[in-house]
Amino acid sequence: MPATIVQTNNAPFKDVKLDSITLDIIENALRNARAEMDAVLFRTAMSPGIREQHDAFPMIANNEGKMVVGQFGSFIHGFVQGYEGTIEEGDVFLTNDPYSCNGAVSHLNDWLTLMPVFHDGRIVSWAAMFGHMTDIGGKVPGSLPTDAAQIFEEGFQIPPIKLIRKGELNREVLEMILRNCRMPEWNRSDLNAIIAALRLAERRVHEIVERFGVDNYIAAMYEMLDRNKRAMSAIIKMVVPEKKAYFEDYIDDDGLGMGPYKVACSLWREGDVAHFDFEGTDPQSISSVNFYLNEEMFKMFLGAFFINLFDPQILFNDGFYELVSVRIPDGCILKPKRPAALSCRTHLLGRIFDIMGGLLGQGAPEALNAAGFSDSPHLMYSGYDRNGEWYQLFQIGFGGIPGRPSGDGPDGHSLWPSFTNVPNEFLESYFPLRIMAYESIADSGGPGQHRGGNGVCTAYEFLETGEISIHDDRWLTYPWGVNAGLPGGRSNKLLVRKDGSQAHLPSKCDRVKVHEGDILYYNTWGGGGWGDPLKRPAEMVAQDCERGLVTVAGARRYGVVVSEDFTLDQAATAELRQQMSTERKEAPLFNRGGTIEELKARCKEETTFEPPRTPVFANWMRSKAAV
């Protein structure tokens, strides 16, 4: 049964016709309120993941729960369908359980809060926000255990609850939740900051309603949704073909030595509606790399992808959702069944963006992006310092954005456009480590007419004995290039002990002991290249060499000859490019650097690791005996 909304005033909202000026004022007021929600959160949270990296996502929705302004919407429909109680004025809801809210959040670290906004006894809006908590219990610090087989191993599960009931905080429930976290004060502060952001949104909604009237406010939100629908309808008709397209990509492994795992998707258009079908995607994993992909969340990803690609001035909201149909088979790695583990779903979440790019670009290759930094790799470092105090770091790494039709991919950027890096000075002030290097990895961006962005090398020197966890991908498969562009460089992690011994670490591992003086070189991957590298102006390649983005040896992949002092040799370049043009074969639309079988065969030579084994899928979880 869906939730019951308790309203003391059930009068219908009146249909009104807004003038364009009033509509624009209300739209910009809501945009500003959404920005203020972020400001409140980032200034009052404690964890670096939220305070510095901005791993939190706000939204303001209309009275039906459709996001009108925000960044990561589509929470409320799943929540209302999964919650069986009443929704009343003054309530604030909290949950982190993907299985209890139809995937509105996708792992336990994301704490989702929702607040209905009432005016004169009627619900007129919703405010919502979720943020990634540094720790929520579980078998490893950071609560992202690679080897978890069930969600029970990943931390404290919070079903949808009223944390605040009619304005009164349920303190006993809050203390019970915080008792199960390794960083209770961070969690308390972050949660209070999130709720303060909801309160801010509520005040701003009341101000708008009092100024313009409730009917004008409701009408404006529907018109903002309709604007989005009209704009997205035009884009869908322009770029989604009626003929079925197919694409597949992979995450490399599951942290247990098995992989790769395939995500397959078909795309076609019927009239105004774009259809996405994930038939052919691998079954769910026995480890924690499963991603519970809510269909509404996928539509949100698609909207963000389209808007950023075609017209960033379009207001991003839920208005277009009826123009997209999504089918995800039950029991696959994108729709696992409880109690499948979910904590390390970030790799599949990111890969969805490469899938969308590969699908949508086939009908218009000139508009196709390469594969890029489609992940949010994590580093966790924790332990007791010499004063007996617990320390715990959760940090997201950055990498190379793909080459694009419009130009080069940025170097050292986040998958999420609004994320920022944690300043090195902050890390060194709050945690027992020293940043020995923080630099672009030359040649890691795929060569192309438009170069893929470079990955980042961060060298962490540990100043206390502790444990680290690493969660990353693209160590086996390459970020593919397109339109004759070459693949980007892959990721790797090198641990250099104080005694000089070295160990290459897997991309997914937990409980790695480190000691004072050990240095971890955390190297992320680059973006694939776009277009023929031989068409990149030689002067730009020489400039890239001078800037340290491409090496002198790497310049030859573009057919460019540069001296050690970065002087361009025009004659030698013309000769080399002519030779390369004559000798090469016809370039594929997608350059993956080899088939999966070829990459596995070269695995040990190129990566020092054994190739991943064929996965053992979690068929038992798909049986009727599953919890």
Confidence of residue 622 (pLDDT cuts 50, 70, 90): very low
**Is residue 41 a contact partner of residue 71, using CB atoms and an 8 Å limit?**
no
Q: What single-letter amino acid sits at 149?
A: A
**Quick check: is 241 in a domain?**
no
The average pLDDT across 391-407 equals: 94
- The residue count for the chain: 627
List pLDDT tens digits, range 404-419: 998 999 999 987 777 8
Residue 278 has pLDDT above 80, yes or no: yes
Q: State the residue for tokens 């400039």.
A: 543
Average pLDDT over residues 165-191: 97
CA 449 to chain centre: 27
The pLDDT confidence band at residue 626, using thresholds 50, 70 and 90, is very low
**Residue 64 within a domain:** yes
Q: Specify if 439 maps to a domain.
A: yes
Asked, for residue 469, whether it belongs to a domain, the answer is: yes
Work out the pLDDT band at 163, boundaries 50, 70, 90: very high
Question: Which residue's structure tokens are 């043009």?
Answer: 581
- Arithmetic mean of pLDDT over the chain: 93
Residue at which a domain ends, from 168, 202, 226: 226
* Final residue of a structural domain among 210, 226, 242: 226
Range of the domain at 145: 4-226
Provide the terminal-to-terminal Cα distance of the chain, rounded to the nearest Å: 20
User: Helices (DSSP H) in 516-589: which residue ranges?
Assistant: 538-546, 552-555, 570-583
Beta carbons within 8 Å of 542's beta carbon, 6+ residues apart:
555, 560, 562, 566, 567, 568
Flag whether pLDDT at 620 surpasses 60.
no
Convert the pLDDT of each residue in 578-603 to its tens digit.
999 999 888 899 999 999 999 999 98
Q: Over the stretch 144-158, which tens digit does the pLDDT of each residue have?
A: 999 999 999 999 999
From 517, 532, 547, the end of a domain falls on 532
Strand 481-482 relative to strand 590-591, pairing? antiparallel
Residue 519, domain member (yes or no) = yes
* Coarse DSSP helix, strand, coil percentages of the chain, rounded to the nearest 5 percent: 30, 25, 45
Query: 């009626």: which residue's tokens?
Result: 242
Percent over 70 (pLDDT), the chain: 97
In whole angstroms, give the CA distance from residue 474 to residue 458.
17
Q: What is the pLDDT of residue 73?
A: 63
352: confidence class by pLDDT, cuts 50, 70, 90? very high
Q: Residues 362-370: what's their mean pLDDT?
A: 86
Number of domain units in the chain:
2
Asked whether residue 60 is assigned to any structural domain, the reply reads: yes
Query: For 289-338, how does the pLDDT look when each residue is reduced to its tens digit (9 = 90+)?
Result: 999 998 988 998 898 888 877 788 888 899 999 999 999 999 999 999 99
What residue type is assigned to position 154 of the chain?
E
Question: Angle at the Cα of 55 (from 62 to 345), degrees rounded to 5?
Answer: 95
| Residue pLDDT, tens place only, 502-549 | 999 999 999 999 999 999 999 999 999 999 999 999 999 999 999 999
Task: For residues 34 and 68, give the distance between their C-alpha atoms in angstroms, rounded to a whole number.
Answer: 10
Q: What are 517's two structure tokens?
A: 């003086």
334: which 2 tokens?
A: 């994108």
Report CA-CA distances (Å) from 304 to 312, 362, 391, 482.
9, 19, 36, 22
The tens digit of pLDDT for each residue in 331-342 reads: 999 999 999 999
Q: Is residue 435 part of a domain?
A: yes
- If one compares 552 and 364, the residue with the highest pLDDT of the two is 552
Q: Give CA–CA dist 487/86, Å, rounded.
A: 52
Q: Tokens 């405010």 identify what position?
A: 127
**If you average pLDDT over residues 56-80, what whole number do you get?**
84
Number of Cβ within a 10 Å radius of residue 422 = 18
Q: What is the pLDDT of residues 9-65, one digit of tens each?
A: 988 899 899 999 999 999 999 999 999 999 999 999 999 999 999 999 899 999 999
Is residue 3 scored above 90 in pLDDT?
Answer: no
State the number of CA atoms in the 13 A half-sphere of 366 facing the CB.
Answer: 0
Q: Is residue 295 part of a domain?
A: no
Question: How far is residue 98's CA from residue 108's CA, in Å, rounded to a whole number?
Answer: 7
Collapsed DSSP state (helix, strand, coil) of residue 419:
coil
Nearest to 509 by CA among 324, 344, 363: 344
